[in-house]
């Protein structure tokens, strides 16, 4: 069995999508569709930068999605690829869940782009700059991370945001609590704590204003039944019902990204091959979760040709 997976924030880079658009009319068309949906020259920013603008959450989120779906579009239009025929599940890390839903035709492309633009803005606006922070805990499993978060909170928010793999967990919350946690890592048997260069504390209760904004937006959005089941971050399990998809996306804004559990569950369900579209960040995590899995990253035209030949 095969799962197609989609990267999250942090995988953006100036130049993304450039070679794909130069090689493929299908990719160029997709990037133009996203620009039109957002009334913005997002693709120019993806190719030319500046990096400071591309890194802004409201730009990074739709850009990462566009790059991933452009990769899929090239495979479909120029390689005769069918996700429904070649895949069993889709999943994405945080914003990547929207890419997965778009790939599975639960959302159309324009809706996905607009939802991610709004999601990025709402997440950025939920907490004043400087009041929140996130930190990666290296050499930490979920139990150690949870214990550290509870010890460091001291009445503030300090929560596990991303359970990425058996060796990396990300915490999120008030800046003071996160800084206390980083200072306390050795006491909890954790190798290192590294503050992340993010502009807001994602996936924690401080994001409730953004969750409210997404609930309103998703309430108006058209959601179709996906072509194949989508593993929801907050469940670490598959969803296929339109109303449940919306509910889980709202929960996801404040909830934990259960990536380690999602990959383990897919492996347990019989998935032996994971194909990351538009990035190279999830593959190493998958190998740490399911060492015997086959992992493939598809970013370039050469990658696309190799993948199409292997399916």
Q: How far apart are CA 271 and CA 273, in angstroms?
A: 6
Q: Which of 188, 203, 262, 297 is catalytic?
A: 203
Structure tokens at 232: 């929801």
- Is 94 a residue of the active site? yes
Among the listed residues 57, 70, 41, the one whose alpha carbon sits nearest the alpha carbon of residue 278: 70
d(CA 266, CA 281) in angstroms, rounded, equals 18
Q: Containing H/E element for 263?
A: helix 259-268
Token digits of residue 92:
């994405």
What distance in Å separates the CA atoms of residue 210 and residue 125, rounded to the nearest whole number?
8
Nearest to 281 by CA among 305, 251, 252, 257: 257
Residue 240 dihedral angles phi and psi, to the nearest 5°: -140, -10
* Structural contact between residues 125 and 207, judged by C-beta atoms closer than 8 angstroms: no
Task: Name the residue with tokens 């999120």.
Answer: 172
Catalytic residue of the set 21, 94, 99, 297: 94
Q: Is 203 a known active-site residue? A: yes
Nearest 10 degrees: Cα torsion 75, 303, 12, 104? 30
Catalytic residues: 94, 203
């Amino acid at each position: 069995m095969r799962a197609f997976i989609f990267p999250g924030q942090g995988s953006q880079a100036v130049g993304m999508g450039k070679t794909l658009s130069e090689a493929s009319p299908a990719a160029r068309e997709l990037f133009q569709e996203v620009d039109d949906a957002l009334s913005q020259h997002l693709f120019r920013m993806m190719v030319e930068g500046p990096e400071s603008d591309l890194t802004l959450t409201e730009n990074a989120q739709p850009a990462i999605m566009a790059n991933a779906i452009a990769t899929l579009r090239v495979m479909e239009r120029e390689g005769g690829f069918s996700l429904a025929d070649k895949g069993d599940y889709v999943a994405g890390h945080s914003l990547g869940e929207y890419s997965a839903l778009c790939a599975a035709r639960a959302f159309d492309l324009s809706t996905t782009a607009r939802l991610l633009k709004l999601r990025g803005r709402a997440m950025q606006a939920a907490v004043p700059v400087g009041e929140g922070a996130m930190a990666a805990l290296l050499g930490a499993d979920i139990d150690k991370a949870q214990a550290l978060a509870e010890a460091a909170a001291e009445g503030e928010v300090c929560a596990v945001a991303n359970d990425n793999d058996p060796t990396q967990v990300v915490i999120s919350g008030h800046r003071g609590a996160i800084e206390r946690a980083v200072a306390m890592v050795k006491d909890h048997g954790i190798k290192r704590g590294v503050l992340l260069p993010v502009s807001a504390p994602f996936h924690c209760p401080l994001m409730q204003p953004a969750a409210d904004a997404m609930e309103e937006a998703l309430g108006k959005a058209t959601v179709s039944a996906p072509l194949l089941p989508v593993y929801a971050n907050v469940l670490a399990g598959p969803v296929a019902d339109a109303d449940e998809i919306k509910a889980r996306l709202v929960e996801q804004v404040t909830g934990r990204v259960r990536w380690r559990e999602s990959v383990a569950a897919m492996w347990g369900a019989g998935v032996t091959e994971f194909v990351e579209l538009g990035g190279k960040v999830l593959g190493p995590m998958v190998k740490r979760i399911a060492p015997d899995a086959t992992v493939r990253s598809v970013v370039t035209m050469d990658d696309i040709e190799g993948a199409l030949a292997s399916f």
